[in-house]
Chains A and B, each alone.
Chain A
Amino acid sequence: MNKPIRTISMFCLLLFVALMLNATYLQFWRADSLDNDPRNRRVIEAAYSRERGAILVGREPIAESVPSDDRYEFQRTYPIPFKYAPVTGYFSFFSQTAIEQTQNEVLSGEDPRLFVTKLVDLLSNDPNKGGSVQLTLDPDAQDAAYEGLDALPGDVEGSVVALDPATGKILAMVSLPTYDPNKLASHDLDEVTSTYERLDEDPSEPLVNRAIAKTLPPGSTFKIVTAAAAIESGNYTASSEVPGGSTYRLPQTSAESGVIDNEGRDCGTDRIPFAQAMENSCNTTFAALANELGAEAMLKQAEAFGFNSTYLEDLRPQAESVFPEDMNPPETGQSGIGQFEVRSTPLQMAMVVGAVANNGVVKRPYIVDEVQSAEYDVLEKTEDSDLSQAISSSTAADLTQLLVSTVDNGTASPAAIPGISVAGKTGTAQSGIDDVPPYAWFVSFAPADDPQVAVAVMIESADIPRGEIAGGQLGGPIAKAVMEAIIND
């Protein structure tokens, strides 16, 4: 009977080899795809209860994991929830956003840069701790921006962005309305779901970071771009005379709507000094300049500042600021004063004034300053980089001169800081929709001779009578407070 026993032995061997191959297939070859399956609650729950690294501003954590005594080991908390929510995002059982999402690999400890830490944790049998992320935000500037915007009457919708023009570091980023990420990070998953649904359906869009994710017509602040294109063309300098007049009829139009006026501001007749046009924010001047330069030159100048592209690498989602292509002459005229289909994020407008402040060089904006290990050893520091040379440094100097005089003698005077030379520009953009009040804008940088900070303020809506909405009155003081916070540091 030994021959069949040997056959049976071979058969048993086959069975066991099949089992081993199958187990190897399951645990080795297929493991990655199974681990990445969105239905795999194991991986999600493990990430959820892991000790995530902190998100730091200055020396303070604005997001950290604290031990929890319920079914998950750690609870994500946000000590300063409303002020920083648009930047930190939230870390919920179901998803992550903003820094929590883009820096997830570091915060969760999966990032290869944390390899040594992981190895040490493995050998010492400690649970794997995530690394920390140090942001570029300046707490004083952030406070000034948030408090300034929040102090406006009513339910404010708006945003403030401040940049270091020389590096592209984002010094402040505020968006209102905001939300409490602690509620979304809660371990009470039913509460998380209902909170999320409420926030998601809210028409004021509290989950949208208006600083980078919502574009609106920039209005008169865009005149900086038009002026830049004009000076770059070689036909103008800061001391040239530019077209003036109380009205300007857009080419190829005959109806009443084709006439642009200056809402009562003094823009002279025929030719006026460039400084006067900027100080009084003359619509007639800049519409005429845009047509004189042509749609192509305007598009080229806008794209040199960053329009029609995305550049932010460490924060999502970023909306692309738009300057339309293939415009006809009346549309070109409108675009010269930041209307028609020109749309910009507050960050984009901050980059425009930032480039003027930085000798014409647009720096790539960034918000993650350093990636650190769990023990706060610096693993990587973000290097600043140039995005483009938008204008020549002489053009930048001319523009600075015009913008300083706009603060000193013109519409942007609310941003003036005693003893410091400030460059700024207001904007009040027509929403283009009936019943929707205009948007108030303000952009500025200071000190004009040695720029340390560039600011953009955008107020989408607040409880202010329609007639009183003006970029200078509303945005100017906020920009001033942010600039002072940086300069007095």
Chain B
Amino acid sequence: MSQTSALMGFVHRRRRGAELFLLVLALAVGVGAYAAVGIGVEGSVPVDIVSYGGWLTGLVVAAHVAVRFVAPYADPVLLPLVAALNGLGLAVIHRLDLTDGTTFARQQLTWMTLGVLLFIGALVVLRDHRVLTRFTYTFGLSAILLLLLPLVPGVGKTINGAKIWIGVGPFSFQPGEVAKVLLVVAFAGYLVLHRDALALAGRRVVFVDLPRGRDLGPILAMWLVSLGILVFQKDLGSSLLFFGLFLVMLYVATERPGWLVVGSALFLSGALFAWRAFGHVQDRVDIWLHPFKYYNNPTPPFSDQIVETMFGMAWGGLIGRGFGEGDPTRISYAESDFIMGAIGEELGLTGVIAVLLIYGLIVERALRAALISRDGFGKLVAVGLASVVALQVFVVIGGVTRLIPLTGLTTPFLSYGGSSLVANWVIIALLLRISDQARRPIPDLSGQDEEPDEMNTQVIKL
């Protein structure tokens, strides 16, 4: 499609002005929400509104300027969407801080600063995403090492029963968040090389093309890794996320639904096995089916989090109680996994739908970048990153609103959590890079009137 349009002389516009305008709106959301929290909870506009707003504006403008210079054709909608979510998340965390006496928002702002710096760094250093194919196996190996790290005695920390944390000085870090980005790149690099073998060889069994036995190797390996995360780290969410991500990318690379059949069968058998073998998985399912049975339980399992979230969201109703008028601190971990509960209570169904639409748009823009990308690797990375966001949002918000059993994952850009925030900013940098490459006009090969710096970015080193 992109080729056709290019042949017809269609050239994507840069639309950086549109991005700037949308960023102003996003900042209005972030700073406005922060002011509303001050008025709602303390009765006055926060005294640090200028410095806070200035800092937020500085970060957003820095990101925008970086995009303007190093990725001028990048999608203009993604950055404003992310800025709005991040700003809203900060305000909600700040609101919870005011009641709880914690300082999560301040730390989150520090992490956001780091995230934006990494975002700019990634865009500046990585002028062409195809360079990443060189690091397929390095990234794959690093991802697995990072995933194993929390299991190493002395380094790993167990928080709330899940061994997904490592302690670095005073900070806790979830290496799984970084691993998911590395895994997407590694999968994409692997699949783009082996897609023909995976796609063409195989056997047809009852209308479904099943892959060859030897090609099942990687998918079985991934299945085992996911199961390992589930068994040893007791992290249902990440396990589901990694396996689902791999399945989607495999399907896109090979264009064969047969992989989905095999993968789903493996997933279901794994889930069934986990349900029968592990008490904590059974508890999660029981709580999902009968949340009120375990409410105010004297002994575990507890369902207080999910029931309080349901009560809170119901109380919020259509337009919410307003900042400061609800009681979201009744939900434990409202600032991280359960931030949607706090938003549902104080901003209502309106706020929840708005947030879901923003996530939907992020996924849509990422998939659009995948569609128009001119190279298979770019397509796969973009699809993978889109799936990461979509699956993560579905698993965590679905869990919080009792659509599916609850699994621990952070809500991208909203939840308190440094590793997640930083990793997600890098995901957006990669998506912008891919869309920049895809939307950029094809260089005129006659070599006349070409800007030299644009020619440079078209050099492909593999």
Contacts and interface: CB of A to CB of B under 8 A. Distances in A.
A180 to B, nearest CB: 30
Interface string B304-328: 0001001111111110000000110
A5 B370 contact: yes
Interface string A37-78: 101111101100000000000000000000000000000000
A28 B317 contact: yes
Contacts of A35: 311, 314-315
B295 A39 contact: yes
Interface stretch (B15-23, B217-225, B351-359, B418-426): B351-359
B313 A26 contact: yes
A7 B386 CA distance: 13
Contact of B402 (A20, A24, A26): A26
Contact of B401 (A1, A2, A26, A34): A26
B363 A34 contact: no
Interface string B231-257: 000000000000000001001110100
Interface string A1-25: 1111111110011011011101110
B367 A5 contact: yes
A6 B253 CA distance: 13
B376 interface: yes
Interface stretch (B57-65, B68-76, B263-271, B390-398): B390-398
Contacts of B1: 2
Interface in A120-178: none
A45 B253 CA distance: 55
B105 interface: no
Contact of B317 (A13, A27, A39): A27
B262 interface: no
Nearest to A9: B367
Interface string A436-480: 000000000000000000000000000000000000000000000
Nearest to A29: B314
Nearest to B361: A16
Interface string B321-353: 000001100100000000000001000110011
A13 to B, nearest CB: 8
B94 interface: no
Nearest to B376: A1
B132 to A, nearest CB: 18
B398 A22 contact: yes
A31 B316 CA distance: 9
A7 B247 CA distance: 13
B228 interface: no
Contacts of A381: none
B367 A37 contact: no
B226 interface: no
Given A12-B386, A19-B397, A23-B356, A1 B311 contact: no
A26 B403 CA distance: 10
B401 A16 contact: no
Contacts of A7: 251
Contact of B349 (A23, A37, A39): A23
Interface residues of B, number: 50
A30 interface: yes
B252 A31 contact: no
A34 B394 CA distance: 23
Given A1-B255, A4-B251, A19 B349 contact: no
B317 A4 contact: no
B340 to A, nearest CB: 8
Interface in B361-379: 363-364, 367, 370-371, 376, 379
A18 B398 contact: yes
Nearest to A3: B255
Contact of B318 (A2, A4, A27): A27
A2 B394 CA distance: 23
Contacts of B352: 23, 27
Interface in B274-315: 292, 295-296, 307, 310-315
A27 B344 contact: yes
A16 B356 contact: yes
Contacts of B386: 8, 12
Contacts of B327: 42, 45-46
A31 B317 contact: yes
Contacts of A46: 327
B360 interface: yes
Contacts of B376: 1
Contact of A23 (B313, B379, B387, B394): B313
A1 B349 contact: no
Contacts of A18: 394, 398, 403
B67 interface: no
A19 B395 CA distance: 10
Nearest to B344: A27
A28 B353 CA distance: 12
B1 to A, nearest CB: 7
B356 A5 contact: no
A40 B311 contact: yes
Contacts of A28: 317-318, 349
Contact of B383 (A8, A16, A20, A40): A8
B414 interface: no
A22 B403 contact: yes
B116 interface: no
A18 B386 CA distance: 18
A99 B1 CA distance: 74
Contacts of A26: 310, 313-314, 344, 401-402
A8 B367 contact: yes
Contacts of A5: 252, 367, 370-371, 379, 383
Contacts of B296: 39
Contact of B316 (A8, A24, A27, A39): A27
Given A27-B318, A27-B344, A35-B315, A8 B387 contact: yes
A221 to B, nearest CB: 52
Given A22-B403, A27-B314, A27-B344, A2 B353 contact: no
A34 B314 contact: yes
B227 interface: no
Contacts of A24: 349, 353
Contact of B371 (A2, A31, A39): A2
A103 to B, nearest CB: 24
B363 A12 contact: yes
Contacts of B387: 8, 12
B370 A19 contact: no
A105 B402 CA distance: 32
Contact of A27 (B348, B356, B379, B391): B348
B380 interface: yes
Contacts of B344: 23, 26-27
A20 B349 CA distance: 9
Contacts of A20: 353, 356
Contact of A42 (B255, B292, B315, B359): B315
Given A5-B370, A41-B330, 15 more contacts: A1-B253, A4-B252, A8-B367, A12-B364, A12-B387, A12-B390, A16-B356, A18-B394, A19-B397, A27-B316, A28-B317, A31-B313, A31-B317, A41-B311, A45-B327
21 contacts: A1-B379, A8-B252, A8-B383, A8-B386, A9-B364, A12-B360, A15-B391, A19-B398, A23-B349, A23-B401, A27-B313, A27-B317, A27-B348, A27-B352, A28-B318, A28-B349, A35-B314, A42-B311, A42-B326, A42-B327, A43-B311
Interface of B: 1, 248, 251-253, 255, 292, 295-296, 307, 310-318, 326-327, 330, 344, 348-349, 352-353, 356, 359-360, 363-364, 367, 370-371, 376, 379-380, 383, 386-387, 390-391, 393-394, 397-398, 401-403
A-B pairs, 5 with minimum CB distance? A34-B314, A31-B314, A27-B349, A22-B403, A4-B252
